[in-house]
Amino acid sequence: MSSIDKSGTFRLGDRSVKRLGYGAMQLAGPGVFGPPKDRAQAVAVLRAAIAAGVNHIDTSDFYGPHVTNEIIREALYPYPADLTIVTKVGGKRGADGSWLKADAPDELRSAIHDNLHNLGLDALDVVNMRFMFDPHHPAEGPVEHQIEALAELQQQGLIRHIGVSHVTSAQIKAARRIVDVVCVQNHYNLAHRDDDALIDELAAEHIAYVPYFPLGGFSPLQSDTLNTVAERLNVTPMQLALAWLLKHSPNILLIPGTSSLAHLEQNLAVTDISLDGATLKELDAIGKA
């Protein structure tokens, strides 16, 4: 068994993916805008991830924009048969790199076709609808028009499965009245635990939960407890934070991102970290402090 196989698997629609995947956001330039400093390195990181057994890549055509999808295609096309590529729509980038909402039905249709073109695909495995009622946290608001637009594209065969991102429990229920929701992608990590109850609800429904910013995002996780436990286990704090997520719930799929081969190797090694009950109790307390 390879190291990544130890993460286990979970169903993502009609696909079985390993629970430790890869997020492509950091393949773009600084601030997820423009080209990377080293495109050859970005290509190498993707190929190394696949060679190590990763079969779940998370991306979006508004990363760059277009940059990450173009690099994924350059690095991996034709794609391995078991590779599941998940993308998201609902946003766009301003000329100054700002993050803007783009969720009108015509904008969603355009985004789907951009993803298809830049990835070189006839159909997208999974599309997450990213809602932006509030830029900082999920906020209530109607989701029906956007989900109906994606459902229409699904009926046309351009999308296989639909997920939702940056959402509340009520919005997930509303979306599920229209389509089968195969995954939820929200901000969640060892210290940011607002979705504890939601993760349990989704696990009971066999729906995947994919935490974005699993390591804190643009502001890496900082915790004396995390640092102390990591030193005791002879791992990095970031490795420990990922290992905790894998242990926390069986429906959690990880998509840590990096543009570094060394960091990729560290991320993929987290499946070898063993956490006993006492250690988990220490780590659980971080998010409840």
- State yes or no: is 77 an active-site residue: no
Under 8 Å between Cβ of 15 and 28: no
CATH 3.50.50.60 fits 8-222+250-259, yes or no: no
List C-alpha distances in Å: 113 to 108, 122, 127, 237: 9, 9, 12, 39
Residue 13 phi, psi (nearest 5): 65, -125
Two tokens at 209? Answer: 């939960």
Given 22, 63, 188, 212, the catalytic residue: 63
Pairing of strands 91-93, 99-101: antiparallel
At 111 the three-state DSSP class reads helix
The pLDDT score that the predictor gives to residue 47 is 98
Please give the chain's pLDDT, 289 residues, in tens. 568 999 999 999 999 999 999 999 999 999 999 999 999 999 999 999 999 999 999 999 999 999 999 999 999 999 999 999 999 999 999 999 999 999 999 999 999 999 999 999 999 999 999 999 998 899 999 999 999 999 999 999 999 999 999 999 999 999 999 999 999 999 999 999 999 999 999 999 999 999 999 888 777 888 899 999 999 999 999 999 999 999 999 999 999 999 999 999 999 999 999 999 999 999 999 987 6
Number of neighbouring beta carbons within 10 Å of residue 249:
13
With CA atoms as reference, report the closest residue to 6 among 52, 48, 58, 57: 52
Name the burial class of residue 151, with classes exposed (0-12), middle (13-18) and buried (19+) by CB atoms within 10 angstroms of its CB: middle
Which residues make Cβ contacts (< 8 Å) with residue 190, sequence separation at least 6? 221, 223, 226, 241, 244, 245, 283, 286, 287
Two tokens at 288? Answer: 């409840």
Q: Number of helices and strands (H, E) in the chain?
A: 10, 11
The pLDDT score that the predictor gives to residue 271 is 96
With CA atoms as reference, report the closest residue to 270 among 289, 288, 282, 252: 252
Q: What is the DSSP letter of 80?
A: P
The pLDDT score that the predictor gives to residue 216 is 85
Q: What is the DSSP letter of 177?
A: T
Which residues make Cβ contacts (< 8 Å) with residue 97, sequence separation at least 6? 31, 33, 34
- Residue 21, sorted as left (phi over 0), alpha (psi -120 to 50) or beta, turns out to be beta
Indicate the domain borders of the chain: 8-222+250-259
Paired with 20 in beta bridges are: 254
Q: What gap in Å lies between CA 111 and CA 106, rounded to an integer?
A: 9
